[in-house]
Amino acid sequence: MQIIYHGSYCKVSKPTIVKTKYAKDFGVGFYCTILEEQAIKWAKKYATSFVNIYEYHENKNLKIKEFTLMSEEWLDFIIDSRLGKKHDYDIVIGAMADDQIYNYVTDLIDGVITREAFWELAKFKHPTHQIAFCTLKSLECIKFIEAKMVKND
């Protein structure tokens, strides 16, 4: 069992997979993190902010992809996801392409920078973490504990 967090504008006691018009790092899914501070940052994007807290119980029967490092494979997966390509994983875990990294990924896709330049720019960024629950079956691995309101400064 592991504690995970989801930043939002509301309490999310029953997580769902919502398709958005913008492609995310690991495709469509319900995104959480093991880093509470990161979830707080996600939540503070909204006027009203909540950090939702869950227990995550890994299910070894699910198809899980974990990127332990920012690697070429991780980068290719994010590029494919951002371009709308689908994958068949229930859960994907790894570093997040935050706003700055996202800009570098976009520049790489657009041919503005090379892969070598991407890695040079990306290596100085702080650690991030995300877990994307990509199927309904994967959502059964998480149990809502509570939601805490976060004060926006």
For residue 20, the one-letter residue type is T
- pTM of the model as a whole: 0.86
Q: What is the per-residue pLDDT for 104? A: 83
pLDDT digits (tens, 9 = 90+) for 83-94: 889 999 999 999
Q: According to the 3-state scheme, what is the secondary structure of 82-106? A: HCCCCCCCCEEEECCCCHHHHHHHH
In our burial notation (b when 16+ CB lie closer than 10 A, e otherwise), range 23-34 reads ebbbbbbbbbbe
Contacts of 138 (CB under 8 A, 6+ apart): 29, 59, 62, 90, 91
Q: What angle do CA 141, 60, 89 make, to 5 degrees?
A: 75
From its phi and psi, is residue 27 left (phi > 0), alpha (psi between -120 and 50) or beta? left
pLDDT digits (tens, 9 = 90+) for 58-106: 999 999 999 998 889 998 999 899 888 999 999 999 988 766 777 888 8
Please state the rounded mean pLDDT for residues 21-42. 88
22: DSSP letter? S
Per-position DSSP letters for 27-55, written without gaps between them: SSSEEEBS-HHHHHHHHTTSSSEEEEEEE
Confidence class for position 22, pLDDT limits 50, 70, 90: low
Helix, strand, or coil here: 123?
Answer: coil
**Distance from C-alpha of 39 to C-alpha of 49, rounded to nearest angstrom:** 10
Residue 141 has pLDDT above 90, yes or no: yes
